[in-house]
A and B are shown apart, each in its own frame.
Chain A
Amino acid sequence: MIAKLTIPDFTSTARIDQVGVEERASRFTKRSLKNETKLNGLKLALNMIDLTTLEGKDTEGKIKQLCYKAAHLHDAYPGLPTVAAVCVYPSMVAVAKKALGNSGIKVASVATAFPSGQSTRDVKLRDTKYAISQGADEIDMVISRGKFHQGEYNFVFDEIAAIKEACGTARLKVILETGELGTYDKVRKASDIAMYAGADFIKTSTGKISPAATMPVTLVMLEAIRDFYYKTGKKIAMKPAGGISKAKLALHYLVMLNEVLGEDWMNNEWFRFGASSLANDILMQLEKQRSGVYQSGDYFSVD
C-alpha cells in the first residue's frame, strides 16, 4: 500500500520547455535499430496495441470480425503475439467479450460521454457502470476539457476520482485529449491531475480530434509519469492514441519509452498503442523482414 498521497497545488505544476521537449522528442527518431532489435520491437509493439473501432457505424458483425483479427493477426506468420485489447463503445462490450472468450485479450470500453465528455456526472457514472456490468476489463474515460480550461481543476479531479471508484477492479485510462488542451504546460497539469485522482493509465487522445498523439506530447506525459513515480512510488501506464499508423513511428515511441521510463514499462501492462491501422503496417514490416520483399496491403485482412 502506498503512503497517503499529498495532493499538490495544481495551479503551480511544473512548466514545460517547449523547444527542449520538441528537440528531445525528435532525437528519439534518430536511433539506429539493428534487425533483431527491430524484429523484437515490432512484435512487442504488436502486443501493445489496443485494436480500436469507435464509429457510429460499428455493427456486431464488425466487432466480431475485429475480435477475430485481434486473436489471429496473421496466421500465415507463426508465433505472433496477439494484441493487448480491443477498444469499443459500451454497447459493444458484451459482443466483444463473448467473441474474445478466453483468448486472454482484454476488452476496453470508452465511457463518460465519449468523445466530448459534455454530459452530467450522473450520466457519465452510469455509462461507466454499464460498461463494467457488460464485462469491460478497462475503461477509457475523457476528462471535461471545458472545465479544465475554466480552471476548475477540482471538478476535473473529483470527476476522475468518482469514475475510478465506479470502475472497481477495472483499470481506468484517462484521456486528456491533448489536441484540445493547447499547450504542453496544460498537458502536464492535466496529467498530474489525472494521476493524483487515481488514473491507472493516462492517454493522449480520443482519436476524434487532430492533432492526436504526437511524440512531444507523449514525452511530456511520460515525464509526468516518471516524476509521479519518484514522488509516490506508484507506476502509471501510458497510452498514446490516434495518428500512430506506421511501424516505424511505433518503434520511435518504444525507443522514447525505454529511454524515459526504462524496461519496467516495456510491456503491455504499462504501455499501449491506441490504433486501428498500425497492426497491419507492423505485420507488413514483419513479413518484409521475413521474406525480404516489400509487402502490399492486399494480402492482409482489413479488420
Chain B
Amino acid sequence: MSKRIEVLKTYKIYIGGQFPRTESGRTYIAYSPKGEQLANVCLSSRKDVRDAVGSARSAFGGWSARAAFNRGQILYRIAEMLEGRKAQFIDELVKQGSSKASAETEVNRSIDRLIYYSGWCDKYQQIFSSVNPVASSHFNFSALEPMGVVTIVAPQNTSLIGLVSVMAPVIAGGNSCVILASENKPLCAVTFAEVLNSSDLPGGVVNILTGKVAELLPFLADHMDVNAIFYGENDAANKKLIREKASLNVKRTVIYESKNWVEEKNESPYFINDFQEVKTTWHPIENIGGAKAGY
C-alpha cells in the first residue's frame, strides 16, 4: 500500500452561514513564527465586506427578535461545540506559536467566556435599563435595543480568545456582525466559524473574513449600512481613519486600547452595553396614589 497523503484543510471565509472562497480569488500564506508555511488563507476584498454586511443585515432582524433566553442557549451551544473540538484549537494555537500550556489556557478561557456571556444574555437589560424620575405625569423608562450590524477588527495578537471576547458581547446583545480575523494568526478564526456553523447560530449573524486590515478597514468603517465598529489596537492612524470614515453615517465607534484578552478582568456586561442603543419612552399617566412628580 502506498503512503497515505494527508488531507489539508482549505481555510475559507464565512459569510451568511456558508464557506465561500473570497470573491477576489486571492490568497495569502499564513506563517508560523518560525517561518513555516501553515496554510493558504483567503485574502478578502471589499466585495467580500459588502456581501458579509448584506448577510449580517438580513440576519439581524431574526436574531434581534429572538428571546434573550434563546440567545443565551445558543451562546451556550457554541461553548459546547468549542469544548468538543478543543484539541484541534490547541493544535492550531501551538502551530501559530503558543506554548502548549498557554494554548490550553486560551481555549479554556474562550469556552468559559462564551458561557459567561451566555448567562448575561437575559440579564444585562435589568442592569442597564431604568425607570427615570421625571417632573410630569409620565411613566418614563429607558430600555436597551441592539444597534444593528457591527463590524469588528478582531484583536490582532491572538488567534482565538480575542475574537471570542469581542464577538460574544456583540451577539449576546442581539446584534449581527462582520469580523475581520487576525491577519497573522487567522487559523483559529476559520475553524471557529465551523464551530459557529454547527451550533444553532442562524447563518449571517456572525460573518468572518480573513485578509489585510490596511486594505479592508476603510470599507468596514465607511459602509453606510453598518451601525457600529469595534477596534482594539493602539494604532493611532487607524483610529483616526475609523473615526473620520464612521462619521459619514454617525456610526458608533467602540475603540479600546490593546488588552490582554486572556485575563478575566476583560469580561464584563459593559462590553454588551457598548453595542446597545438606549430607547426612552414617555408614557402619559395620571398621578398614582399620593405620589408627587418625580415620585
Q: Are A296 and B225 in contact (CB under 8 A)?
A: yes
Q: How many inter-chain contacts with C-beta < 8 Å in the A-B complex?
A: 22
Closest 3 CB pairs of A and B: A296-B225, A296-B224, A294-B223
The bracket for how many chain A residues form the interface is under 10
18 A-B pairs in the complex with CB atoms less than 8 angstroms apart:
A293-B222, A293-B223, A293-B224, A293-B248, A294-B49, A294-B53, A294-B222, A294-B223, A294-B224, A295-B224, A295-B225, A296-B223, A296-B224, A296-B249, A297-B225, A298-B224, A298-B225, A299-B224
Q: Are B249 and A294 in contact (CB under 8 A)?
A: no
Apart from A294-B49, A294-B50, A296-B225, list 16 A-B contacts with CB within 8 A. A293-B222, A293-B223, A293-B224, A293-B248, A294-B53, A294-B219, A294-B222, A294-B225, A295-B224, A295-B225, A296-B223, A296-B224, A297-B225, A298-B224, A298-B225, A299-B224
Q: What residues of chain B lie closer than 8 Å to A299, measured between beta carbons?
A: 224
Q: How far is the CA of A296 from the CA of B222 in the complex (A)?
A: 11
Q: What residues of chain A lie closer than 8 Å to B53, measured between beta carbons?
A: 294
Q: How far is the CA of A295 from the CA of B50 in the complex (A)?
A: 10
Return the CB mask of B16-60 against A: 1 if under 8 Å, else 0.
Answer: 000000000000000000000000000000000110010000000
Q: What residues of chain B lie closer than 8 Å to A296, measured between beta carbons?
A: 223-225, 249
Return the CB mask of A266-303 against B: 1 if under 8 Å, else 0.
Answer: 00000000000000000000000000011111110000
Residue of A294, A295, A297, A298 with most chain B CB atoms under a 10 A cut-off:
A294
Q: Count the B residues whose beta carbon is within 8 Å of the partner chain — how many?
A: 10
Q: How far is the CB of A29 from chain B (nearest CB, A)?
A: 14
Q: How far is the CA of A294 from the CA of B222 in the complex (A)?
A: 7
Q: How far is the CB of B223 from chain A (nearest CB, A)?
A: 4
Q: How far is the CB of B196 from chain A (nearest CB, A)?
A: 24
Q: What residues of chain B lie closer than 8 Å to A298, measured between beta carbons?
A: 224-225
Contact residues, B214-266 vs A (CB, 8 A):
219, 222-225, 248-249
Q: What residues of chain A lie closer than 8 Å to B219, measured between beta carbons?
A: 294
Residue of A nearest to B248 (CB): A293
Q: What residues of chain B lie closer than 8 Å to A297, measured between beta carbons?
A: 225
Q: What residues of chain B lie closer than 8 Å to A293, measured between beta carbons?
A: 222-224, 248
Q: How far is the CB of A62 from chain B (nearest CB, A)?
A: 23
Q: How far is the CA of A298 from the CA of B248 in the complex (A)?
A: 13
Residue of B nearest to A299 (CB): B224
Residue of A nearest to B149 (CB): A296
Q: What residues of chain A lie closer than 8 Å to B49, measured between beta carbons?
A: 294
Q: How far is the CA of A299 from the CA of B224 in the complex (A)?
A: 9
Q: How far is the CB of B137 from chain A (nearest CB, A)?
A: 35
Q: How far is the CB of A47 from chain B (nearest CB, A)?
A: 25
Q: How far is the CA of A294 from the CA of B149 in the complex (A)?
A: 14
Q: How far is the CA of A298 from the CA of B223 in the complex (A)?
A: 12
Q: How far is the CA of A295 from the CA of B248 in the complex (A)?
A: 11
Q: How far is the CA of A297 from the CA of B248 in the complex (A)?
A: 15
Q: How far is the CB of B248 from chain A (nearest CB, A)?
A: 6
Q: How far is the CB of A164 from chain B (nearest CB, A)?
A: 43
Q: How far is the CB of A33 from chain B (nearest CB, A)?
A: 15
Q: How far is the CB of A23 from chain B (nearest CB, A)?
A: 22
Q: How far is the CB of A251 from chain B (nearest CB, A)?
A: 15
Q: What residues of chain A lie closer than 8 Å to B223, measured between beta carbons?
A: 293-294, 296
Q: How far is the CB of B145 from chain A (nearest CB, A)?
A: 15
Q: How far is the CB of B125 from chain A (nearest CB, A)?
A: 25
Return the CB mask of A1-40 against B: 1 if under 8 Å, else 0.
Answer: 0000000000000000000000000000000000000000
Q: What residues of chain B lie closer than 8 Å to A295, measured between beta carbons?
A: 224-225
Q: What residues of chain A lie closer than 8 Å to B50, measured between beta carbons?
A: 294
Q: How far is the CA of A40 from the CA of B50 in the complex (A)?
A: 22
Q: How far is the CA of A298 from the CA of B222 in the complex (A)?
A: 15
Q: How far is the CB of B173 from chain A (nearest CB, A)?
A: 20
Residue of B nearest to A295 (CB): B224
Q: How far is the CB of A284 from chain B (nearest CB, A)?
A: 9
Q: How far is the CA of A297 from the CA of B249 in the complex (A)?
A: 12
Residue of B nearest to A287 (CB): B224
Q: How far is the CB of B209 from chain A (nearest CB, A)?
A: 15
Q: How far is the CB of A38 from chain B (nearest CB, A)?
A: 14
Q: How far is the CA of A293 from the CA of B53 in the complex (A)?
A: 13
Q: How far is the CA of A293 from the CA of B224 in the complex (A)?
A: 7
Q: How far is the CA of A296 from the CA of B149 in the complex (A)?
A: 11
Q: What residues of chain A lie closer than 8 Å to B222, measured between beta carbons?
A: 293-294
Residue of A293, A295, A299 with most chain B CB atoms under a 10 A cut-off:
A293
Q: How far is the CA of A119 from the CA of B252 in the complex (A)?
A: 57
Q: How far is the CA of A189 from the CA of B248 in the complex (A)?
A: 53
Q: What residues of chain A lie closer than 8 Å to B248, measured between beta carbons?
A: 293
Q: How far is the CB of B16 from chain A (nearest CB, A)?
A: 15
